[in-house]
Structure 1
């Protein structure tokens, strides 16, 4: 525009038409997913083998509910053993004492290097290795002795197999969380006169939780499903309860569906709990916390207030039109 013609108004430009970018791949993928979803729903509804009447009948059966309780107990107790043992092993692994760090390394190497199924069977047959468990002077007289199978019943054997195996994995998770904290903070704490244990408990671990919590939540969900392996030592948890029922009525698929529904329900509860725990420990790192699922759902129905367009001051009369 020629600014020398101050009195002339510039010609109006034609309106620009915005053309949206086309994404044919997205539409093709959506069509494929919808077709597969329709096929799945049709199979679930029309296939008589699913036998949804039997599924509803056994969903809250006494044996199934008892199995759910045993599964939850194994999950909670095994994770308590795993987390507490993992913290201890991680601290030992990071210790400057070669005996402590070497012992922790060997423990992690053994329990991570052998399948948890083999470890469960080993603990189930512990009575074959040691008929009695005794307390006394090493290589000397015995003060107390008890039959191994009485002292370590099936539930305890399952708990030891799951918990001690989990401690090896939690040790590496905790170690990664501890090492994610800046070393300068530990040095500052030591300069203030804090001991190593005080520094670990008050300075390092609270900050490391932000790194430790997400994989720990995943390990808890994985533990809930791993408890199904204790069926090899004849402990009746959720999966074993379903097996016992369909071994009598031969309704294999309906009982497997019942077991799967319970596992999906329990893992969904744990997933929600993990989300809120992660959100709690993210408060120190994020200025603005991510919205919760309820807040996202509320935002779909509550319209956000419209933003007022900024007002542009008009040029003085007779001035240049830019």
Structure 2
């Protein structure tokens, strides 16, 4: 026996007091199937919490507090849970983003699936990756994520931030993040704070967390030979004091001759000092710098 996401969603609906009809409508399931789901849930609720779902007229009732519910989820995810197709695709993505030298056989073993199922899941994953201009592709007998380097780094950084502090998740984050060098992350945090002082700004904590993992990912990708060699606003940014500060502060981690890489990073540091909204930062950085360049050009023409 095991549980899946649909069954845990039913438990959440029961716990917030939804009626049977509301659950049937929201889950798009039949009464017969709901009875089976409740029986399956009750098996594990009894085993883990010594509780069960009761039926009272048109309602299903269970009395569990938040701590009990979290304990139940943790136990289920650890020992009794089967990922659905969407969750498997997410696990595959996270594995290829973070686990080194991964083999398909390792993923099959972790997920308990066949090679044919894995390839179908990869096809589903590639539909998601299209919006990032990325693709999981077989190359020299090994799968790897290829495509837009900048978007790949952003994807890796944002996925790390999304999952790293989650205590309750169906994905095995201990396995996924096993190769992350926590000491290097802490080093980079200190470097970022020093850069902020040299910029005469105080970076917000959200920005520091983003830059910490973004720098980590950039250094890792450069060491693997994936180097950015073009950048809008390059000529403008390379002549700023901010570029010199970033270049000198990061010389231990990035060769000073990697000017496009350093310009790319400088752009982020500048943006961290001019906006209070981290999501806005990520989306508008190019627009901000383009506008600044045009304004300077206009001023110079007037002079």
Q: Which has the higher contact order (CA 8 A, sep 6+)?
A: 1
TM-score if structure 2 supplies the norm length? Answer: 0.25
TM-score if structure 1 supplies the norm length? Answer: 0.24
- Specify the structure having the higher radius of gyration (Cα): 1
